[in-house]
Amino acid sequence: MQAVVYRGVNDLRVETVDVPRIRSGEILVRVAACGVCPTDIKKIQQGTVPAPRIFGHETSGTIVQVGATTRGFNVGDRVGLHHHVPCMDCHFCRHRAFAQCETYKRTGITAGFEPAGGGYAEYVRVMPFCLPGVVRIPRSNSFLEGALLEPVNTILKAIRQLPLLPDDIVLVAGQGPIGLLFTRLLSLQGIRVIATDLLPNRRKLARTWGAWKSLDAARPDLIEELRRLSSKRGVDAAVIAVPSDAVVAQAQAALRGGGSTLLFAHTVRGKTSPVDLGVVCVDEKSLTGSYSSDFTLQREVARLVFRRQLDVRPLVTHRFPLAETAAAIALSSRPTPDSLKILVEHTPATAERDAS
Ligand SMILES: [Zn+2]
Ligand SMILES: [Zn+2]
Q: In the predicted model, what is the mean pLDDT of the chain? A: 94
pLDDT at 118: 96
The one-letter amino acid at 31: V
Q: Which residues pair with 340 in a beta bridge?
A: none
Nearest ligand to the C-alpha atom of residue 267: 1
pLDDT tier, 347 (very low <50, low <70, confident <90, very high otherwise) = low
Smallest Cα–Cα separation from 294: which of 32, 104, 137? Answer: 104
Q: In angstroms, rounded to a whole number, what is the distance separating the alpha carbons of residues 264 and 242? A: 8
Q: What is the CA radius of gyration of the chain?
A: 21
Residue 356 has pLDDT above 80, yes or no: no
CA 47 to centroid of ligand 2, rounded, Å: 27
Establish how many alpha carbons lie within 13 A of residue 86's alpha carbon, considering only the half-sphere containing its beta carbon.
21
Nearest ligand to the C-alpha atom of residue 41: 1
CA 93 to centroid of ligand 2, rounded, Å: 4
List pLDDT tens digits, range 232-265.
999 999 999 999 999 999 999 999 999 999 999 9
CA 231 to centroid of ligand 2, rounded, Å: 43
CA 96 to centroid of ligand 2, rounded, Å: 9
CA 285 to centroid of ligand 2, rounded, Å: 30
CA 193 to centroid of ligand 2, rounded, Å: 34
CA 272 to centroid of ligand 1, rounded, Å: 24
Q: pTM here?
A: 0.92
Q: In angstroms, rounded to a whole number, what is the distance separating the alpha carbons of residues 173 and 243? A: 10
CA 90 to centroid of ligand 2, rounded, Å: 4
CA 88 to centroid of ligand 1, rounded, Å: 21
**What pairing do the DSSP bridges indicate for beta strands 58-66 and 27-35?**
antiparallel
Instruction: Enumerate residues 6+ apart whose C-beta is below 8 A from 216.
Output: 196, 197, 198, 200, 203, 222
Domain ranges of the chain: 2-153+293-355, 162-289
Span 162-289 CATH architecture: 3-Layer(aba) Sandwich (3.40)
Residue 353 has pLDDT above 50, yes or no: no
CA 156 to centroid of ligand 2, rounded, Å: 20
Q: What are phi and psi of 264, to 5 degrees?
A: -125, -20
CA 296 to centroid of ligand 2, rounded, Å: 12
| Residue 279: Cβ-neighbour burial (10 angstroms; 0-12, 13-18, 19+) | middle
**3-state DSSP assignment of residue 64:** strand
Smallest Cα–Cα separation from 341: which of 59, 195, 144, 153? Answer: 144
Q: Which residue has the higher pLDDT, 38 or 135?
A: 135
Smallest Cα–Cα separation from 313: which of 19, 72, 35? Answer: 35
pLDDT tier, 151 (very low <50, low <70, confident <90, very high otherwise) = very high
Q: In angstroms, rounded to a whole number, what is the distance separating the alpha carbons of residues 313 and 144? A: 7
CA 130 to centroid of ligand 2, rounded, Å: 13
Nearest ligand to the C-alpha atom of residue 92: 2
Average pLDDT (148-166) is: 96
**What pairing do the DSSP bridges indicate for beta strands 192-197 and 213-216?**
parallel
**What pairing do the DSSP bridges indicate for beta strands 78-80 and 58-66?**
antiparallel
The one-letter amino acid at 217: A
Q: In angstroms, rounded to a whole number, what is the distance separating the alpha carbons of residues 233 and 226? A: 9
Nearest ligand to the C-alpha atom of residue 177: 1
Could you list the beta-strand ranges (E) of the chain. 2-8, 11-16, 27-35, 58-66, 78-80, 109-110, 123-126, 135-136, 169-173, 192-197, 213-216, 235-240, 255-263, 286-289, 316-321, 341-345
Smallest Cα–Cα separation from 75: which of 87, 55, 61? Answer: 61
Fold adopted by 2-153+293-355: Quinone Oxidoreductase; Chain A, domain 1 (3.90.180)
**What pairing do the DSSP bridges indicate for beta strands 192-197 and 11-16?**
unpaired
pLDDT at 268: 85
